[in-house]
């Protein structure tokens, strides 16, 4: 027999047979970490809870007991399993169909109108198999209830006397299942042959000889071998590219990552970054700004840079730098490992590409499964590698046409929908960054020779007298001396060179923001085209990963988009409320014997987050109001970049510098207006327009921030209780803050002029345990299932790598597993058939 069917003894976890089938002995490398997909006669994607409900007879609220179920196992050989499809998904789907055929045979034998069963494919042993839970009670065609006390002998393998000899009879389930398997394998074989010939024909390859000649088959086999090598090499190259991206993020943005360390000044545990330590005591000269204001242009120091000046490094700095260096070493180690695994395939692929390029032949499409392409394209979107994404889309299209892979499923389109939504808010954020950068350019801080400096500071130093002894002057002088490599007094020439260096840095920053905006726009177009290709109906809702919900929440708050902020909350709340008992949070409670507290635990998180979001939104309103008020007071003195019409030089001018005198008589003002030159008039109008635009932008920001706060308050009102006098309501749940929100609150405490507000915020923080603070991604991941587990292989947001006591969580390098290298000799690689290939676009 090629299929084995066996009836298992009563077993299962304390949470039931269905939970045992879904969760027992999971093989992480082959099966979903969050649990296997459950299926029945009608559905392929059932949860443990819905599966248990489908096995119930009647309206009982209790979970169906193990004694009410039969436990059946259908097992097949791995060699047969591999013949049933190209990819893992298609093979699993085929095994599900075989199981349904077997269950239909049982149903027909019992003359049952309805048979209740649930199964799951297990890949944790040498032979793939399916565990099935079958409800003993069933209904006949006459709708009479029957009880299947024991499985009929005719259905299972058993011995019978044939010609006075005991012979093994497979049973009806095995016979039906084997017939279905033979049909699937035959169809797959025919499909594979058709796909091979279809690919060759569509790709412009033509061969001499008859269709079934050995020469033709040999050359087709040779091309398919090259395609496999190209596919393996592509996976290896993309894995290395992603690791390089993570290393660059660590080097370029590691200084922004916050870790829980002990503050050497206060002795308290605080989440600090190298950037926070560098900004202590820093003052920006922008009117109305305060120390520590974040800006777009701060370039982080490299990981091996020393601390500012010659001061001894603080303990916090040493701890954080040690963590970052360990994380960097881990990534370098992962890179070396992947390089070693992929080197052979990459070298072979390079020789194949060289040959095709020299012969001016079209390179064959790499052999990739649908799962490979899905993961690679997700990776491309995360790293904004649109060139490779577009190429993979062409590969997908070619393989779909030839029938080698299936088209996108509804689940795939929901993921595309999510990426488009995320791209939209990223594009809006980049556009806002660019607008704010232009308006703030004169006060934008850049890093030169390890010191932070801006054009405003440079100009201030020029205006101050030498004997003032200003700290700002000393810092600027130090930068100028190091750049000029001289200890002589600062000259105008040196100051001009420093100004040019600052301008160059500013232009680099602007180009980076512009590039980010362009990439987001192009990505949005690509994703829109894919969504438009969906048939028959468009996607209405996406499937978000926890880190995506986290990012969208932060961007929506920064953009003051009430619609996005509220919709994001709906997605978060839906994720938490729909969590079943198989999620991480439920399992953690179960380990402590607190299963009954799961629903209350979900309510506390939802209520705590709703309260925290309202508090954070209120802080943003106050900041926006103060920013607008400060600008109104100082708008005549703030400088804006204006391009000189004569020499195209960028000058920084304020309204006070270009405005006409207003204290003279009306006659004098009229004379000044008539005598004003054309260039001055143009400059004055430009500056005036910039002032008006910024003021209008700040007003809109304040108005939109109030809208977001109003929405957050409305959502949080559900989780409030009236006070004793019922004059106002108070939160019913303790707010649950994320690390970034705590940093925002701490910054607000340090910089608000309202002592009452500061005291209230301090009181809030005093009720928060620093060791229990977790990012929004990690909070949601506890309540998510397959999505969060799948997302772990894609997550590259380094700002989320936070842990207590100065320890960082170094996530496993998210690269695709490399297939075993196909060994080929140099003669095999260089020996290519003389192919007649039509003109095509080479990759």
DSSP 59-75: S--SPPPGGGEEEEEEE
Is residue 695 within 8 A of residue 638, CB to CB? The reply is no
* The pLDDT value given to residue 612: 93
User: Which two three-digit tokens encode residue 34?
Assistant: 């969050």
Query: Average pLDDT in the 114-120 region?
Result: 91
pLDDT of residue 329: 92
Residue that wins the pLDDT comparison between 667 and 225: 225
| pLDDT on residue 325 | 92
Give CA torsion, residues 717, 721, 723, 726, to 10 deg: 70
> Mapping DSSP to helix (H, G, I), strand (E, B) and coil, where does residue 790 land?
helix
Per-residue pLDDT tens over the stretch 718-767: 998 877 665 678 888 989 999 889 989 988 998 888 999 999 999 988 88
Annotated domain spans of the chain = 3-194, 417-533, 575-793
pLDDT for 111: 87
Give the pLDDT score at 790: 42
Q: Is it the case that residue 831 has pLDDT exceeding 50?
A: no
Residue 775's pLDDT is 87
- Predicted confidence (pLDDT) at residue 774 exceeds the cutoff of 60: yes
pLDDT of residue 121: 93
Question: What is the rounded CA–CA span in Å between residue 554 and residue 78?
Answer: 47
pLDDT at 765: 87
Report the 3 state secondary structure along 587-640.
HHHHHCCCHHHHHHHHHHHHHHHHHHHHHHHHHHHHHHHHHHHHHHHHCCCCEE
pLDDT at 198: 55
What is the phi/psi pair of residue 16, to 5°? 110, 165
**Chain mean pLDDT for the chain:** 78
The per-residue pLDDT for 567 is 92
Q: What helix, strand, coil percent values describe the chain, rounded to 5? A: 60, 10, 30
| 470 DSSP 8-state letter | -
With a cut of 80, say whether residue 293 has pLDDT above it: no
Amino acid 537: pLDDT: 52
Torsions phi, psi of 635, nearest 5?
-65, -25
pLDDT for 472: 53
Share of the chain above pLDDT 70, in %: 76
DSSP letter, residue 42: S
Task: Check residue 667 and give its pLDDT.
Answer: 62
In 635-738, which ranges are continuous DSSP H helix? 655-658, 666-675, 678-716
Percentage of the chain lying above the pLDDT 90 cut: 25
Calculate mean pLDDT across residues 154-175: 84
Tell me the average pLDDT across 151-156: 87
Query: Which of 223-227, 420-424, 809-813 tops mean pLDDT?
Result: 420-424
> What's residue 798's pLDDT?
32
CB-CB neighbours of 425 under 10 Å = 21
pLDDT at 549: 92
Residue 470 tokens read as 């200003």
Q: What is the pLDDT of residue 11?
A: 58
Token couple for 785: 């299932």
Instruction: Please state, in angstroms and rounded to a whole number, the distance separating the CA atoms of residues 320 and 308.
Output: 15
Average pLDDT over residues 405-416: 84
pLDDT, one tens digit per residue, over 264-285 is 666 677 777 887 777 654 433 3
pLDDT band at 62 (very low <50, low <70, confident <90, very high): confident
Residue 51 CA to residue 580 CA, distance in Å, equals 12
* Listed range (304-308, 351-355, 685-689, 809-813) with the worst mean pLDDT: 809-813
pTM above 0.75, yes or no: no
Each residue of 125-140: pLDDT tens digit? 888 999 999 999 888 8
So what's the pLDDT on residue 263?
Answer: 64
- What is the average per-residue pLDDT within 185-212? 59
Mean pLDDT is lowest, of 196-205, 253-262, 829-838, for: 829-838
518 preceded by a cis bond (ω within 30 of 0): no
Which residue shows structure tokens 């970052």? Answer: 324
* Residue located via tokens 């699937």: 184
- Which of 39-43, 468-472, 493-497, 806-810 is the least confident region? 806-810
What is the average pLDDT across 59-79?
84
Q: Are 628 and 706 in contact (CB under 8 A)?
A: no
At 155, the pLDDT band (50, 70, 90 cuts) reads confident
């Amino acid at each position: 027999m090629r299929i084995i069917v066996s009836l298992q003894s009563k077993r299962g976890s304390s949470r039931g047979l269905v939970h045992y089938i879904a969760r027992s002995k999971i093989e992480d490398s082959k099966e979903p970490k969050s649990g296997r997909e459950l299926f029945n006669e009608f559905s392929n994607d059932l949860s443990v809870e819905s599966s248990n409900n489908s096995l119930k007879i009647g309206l009982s609220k209790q979970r169906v007991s193990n004694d009410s179920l039969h436990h059946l196992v259908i097992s097949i050989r791995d060699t047969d399993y591999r013949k049933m499809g190209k990819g893992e998904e298609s093979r699993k789907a085929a095994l599900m169909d075989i199981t349904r055929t077997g269950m239909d045979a049982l149903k027909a034998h019992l003359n049952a109108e309805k048979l209740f069963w649930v199964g799951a494919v297990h890949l944790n042993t040498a032979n793939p198999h399916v565990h099935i839970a079958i409800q003993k009670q069933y209904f006949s065609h006459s709708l009479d209830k029957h009880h299947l006390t024991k499985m009929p002998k005719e259905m299972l393998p058993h011995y019978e006397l044939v010609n006075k000899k005991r012979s093994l009879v497979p049973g009806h389930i095995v016979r039906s299942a084997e017939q279905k398997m033979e049909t699937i394998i035959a169809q797959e074989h025919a499909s594979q042959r058709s796909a091979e010939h279809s690919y060759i024909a569509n790709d412009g390859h033509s061969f001499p000889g008859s269709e079934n000649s050995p020469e033709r088959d040999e050359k087709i086999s040779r091309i398919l071998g090259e395609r496999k090598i190209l596919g393996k090499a592509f996976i290896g190259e993309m894995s290395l590219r992603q690791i390089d991206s993570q290393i660059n993020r660590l080097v370029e943005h590691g200084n922004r990552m916050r870790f829980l360390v002990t503050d050497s000044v206060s002795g308290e545990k605080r989440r600090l970054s190298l950037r926070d330590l560098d900004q202590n005591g820093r003052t920006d000269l922008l009117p109305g700004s305060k120390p520590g204001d974040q800006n777009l242009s701060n370039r982080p120091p490299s990981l091996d840079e020393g601390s500012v000046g010659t001061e001894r490094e603080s303990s916090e700095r040493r701890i954080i730098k040690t963590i970052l260096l360990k994380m960097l070493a881990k990534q370098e180690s992962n890179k070396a490992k992947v390089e070693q695994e992929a080197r052979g395939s990459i070298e072979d692929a390079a020789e194949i590409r060289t040959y095709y390029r020299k012969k001016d032949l079209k390179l064959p499409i790499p052999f990739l499964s649908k799962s490979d392409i899905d993961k690679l394209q997700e990776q491309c979107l995360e790293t904004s590698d649109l060139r490779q994404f577009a190429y993979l889309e062409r590969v997908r299209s070619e393989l779909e046409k030839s029938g080698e892979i299936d088209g996108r499923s509804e689940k795939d389109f929901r993921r595309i929908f999510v990426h488009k939504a995320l791209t939209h808010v990223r594009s809006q954020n980049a556009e806002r960054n660019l607008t704010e950068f232009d308006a703030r350019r004169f006060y934008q801080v850049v890093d030169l020779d390890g010191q932070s400096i801006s054009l405003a500071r440079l100009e201030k130093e020029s205006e101050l007298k030498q004997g003032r002894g200003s700290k700002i002057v000393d810092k600027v002088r130090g930068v100028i001396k190091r750049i000029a490599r001289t200890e002589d007094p600062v000259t105008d020439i040196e100051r001009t060179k420093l100004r040019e260096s600052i301008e160059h840095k500013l232009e680099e920053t602007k180009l980076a923001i512009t590039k980010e905006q362009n990439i987001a726009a192009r990505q949005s177009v690509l994703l829109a085209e894919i969504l438009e290709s969906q048939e028959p109906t468009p996607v209405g809702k996406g499937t978000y990963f926890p880190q995506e919900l986290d990012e969208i929440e932060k961007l929506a708050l920064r953009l003051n988009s009430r619609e996005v902020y509220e919709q994001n909350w709906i997605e978060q709340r839906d994720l938490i409320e729909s969590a079943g008992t198989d999620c991480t949070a439920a399992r953690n409670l179960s380990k402590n014997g607190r299963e009954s507290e799961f629903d209350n635990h979900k309510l506390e998180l939802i209520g705590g987050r709703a309260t925290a979001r309202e508090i954070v939104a209120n802080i943003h309103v106050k900041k926006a109001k103060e920013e607008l008020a400060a600008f109104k007071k100082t708008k005549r003195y703030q400088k804006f970049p204006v391009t000189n019409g004569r020499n195209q030089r960028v000058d920084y001018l304020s309204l006070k510098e270009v405005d006409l005198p207003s204290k003279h008589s009306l006659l004098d003002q009229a004379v000044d207006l008539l005598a004003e030159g054309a260039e001055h008039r143009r400059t004055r109008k430009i500056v005036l327009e910039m002032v008006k635009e910024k003021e209008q932008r700040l007003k809109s920001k304040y108005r939109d921030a109030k809208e977001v706060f109003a929405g957050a308050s409305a959502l949080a009102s559900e989780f409030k209780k009236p006070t004793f006098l019922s004059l106002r309501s108070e939160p019913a749940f303790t707010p649950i803050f994320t690390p970034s929100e705590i940093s925002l609150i701490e910054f607000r405490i340090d910089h608000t002029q309202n002592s009452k507000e500061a005291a209230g915020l301090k009181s809030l923080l005093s009720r928060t345990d620093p060791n229990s603070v977790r990012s929004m991604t990690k909070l949601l991941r506890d309540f998510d299932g397959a999505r969060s587990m799948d997302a772990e292989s894609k997550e590259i947001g380094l700002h989320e790598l936070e842990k207590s006591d100065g320890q960082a969580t170094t996530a496993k390098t998210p690269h695709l597993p490399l297939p075993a290298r196909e060994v080929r000799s140099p003669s095999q690689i260089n020996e290519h058939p003389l192919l007649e290939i039509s003109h095509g676009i080479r990759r």
